[in-house]
Amino acid sequence: MTSILTGDIINSRKKDDNFWLETLKEALSTFGDSPKYWQIYRGDSFQLEIEKCENALYAALKLKAHLKSTVDIDVRIGIGIGEKEFNVPEITASNGEAFINSGYAFDTYLKKQTMAIKTPWQEIDAELNIAFDLALLTMDSWTKNSAEVFKISLESENSTQNEIAAILGITQGRVSERQKRAGFEPIMKLEKRFKKLIHQKTLQ
C-alpha cells in the first residue's frame, strides 16, 4: 500500500512560472528523485508518491508551507491511499488504487477545499476530510511569515521556540505568536491523529 499526492498551483497563470517552478521542484525533491517519486506535468500540476502512507499529510503540509513561505503561492492537494499495481520508471505512468483515489480526491473534493483525501476506508475519509476542512480555515489564510514559522517548526519538531527564533532572527515571543497564528499546535495534533489512523488501518 502506498500514498499518492496529486496537486496543482492555485492561480498559476497569474504568476511568473520561473518564480515558483524551481521552488516547487526544490520542495518535491526533498521526498525523492524525479521521475520515479515525483513529476511535474501540464505546467502547474504534480504527482508525488509517499511510500509510507502515514506520512502523506506531513508531506502535504510541508509542500503547502514551503510554497507559501518562499514564493507566496498556494497549492491544492488530493491525497490517495491504496494499492499500487506495478512499478515503472515514471510516476505519472503508474496506476492502481492509490492513483485512482488521489485523482478522485482531487477532482471531487477540491472544488470546495484545498486539501482532501480518499482511502479504501469510508469512515476515515469522512473524519479526515471534515478535519482538513477545519484546518484549512487557518492554512488557507497563512501569511508568508506564518507559513515560514510553520515550515521550520514542522521540519524541526523537536526544536525549542528559542532555537527556531535563532534560525529566523526574531524573538521567542514572535515565534510563539506566529505559531499560534499559523495554527501549528492543533494542526500537528491532526497530523498525529492522521498517522495513528492510517498506521492502524494499514496493519489490518
- Buried (b) or exposed (e) across 39-58, using 16+ Cβ within 10 A? bbeeebbbbbbbeebbbbbb
Summarize the chain as % helix, strand, coil (round to 5).
60, 15, 25
**What is the spatial distance between Cα 33 and Cα 194, in angstroms, rounded to a whole number?**
25
Say which residue, 60 or 95, is predicted with more confidence.
60
Crossing angle, helix 17-29 and helix 56-71, to 10 degrees?
150
State the number of CA atoms in the 13 A half-sphere of 192 facing the CB: 8
Whole-number pLDDT of residue 9: 93
Contacts 24+ apart (CB under 8 A), 163-168: none
pTM confidence score? 0.95
**Percentage of the chain lying above the pLDDT 90 cut:** 83
Q: How many percent of the chain have pLDDT more than 70?
A: 98
- For residue 98, which of 34, 50, 28, 43 has the smallest C-alpha distance? 50
**Whole-number Å distance between alpha carbons of 157 and 125:** 26
Q: Place 98 in a pLDDT band, splitting at 50, 70 and 90.
A: very high
Whole-number pLDDT of residue 43: 81
Place 14 in a pLDDT band, splitting at 50, 70 and 90. low
The Cα–Cα gap between 26 and 143 comes to 20
Domains of the chain listed by start with CATH number: 2-203 (3.30.70.270)
Tens of pLDDT along 129-160?
A: 999 999 999 999 999 999 999 999 999 888 99
Q: How confident is the model at residue 122 (pLDDT cuts 50, 70, 90)?
A: very high
Least confident of 84-88, 161-165, 176-180, 189-193: 84-88
Please, which residues have CB within 8 angstroms of residue 156's CB and are 6 or more apart in sequence?
163, 164, 167
Per the omega criterion (within 30 degrees of 0), is the bond before 35 cis?
yes
- In this prediction, residue 111 has a pLDDT band, given cuts at 50, 70 and 90, of confident
Contact 197, 124 (CB under 8 A): yes
pLDDT digits (tens, 9 = 90+) for 27-61: 999 999 999 999 999 888 999 999 999 999 999 99
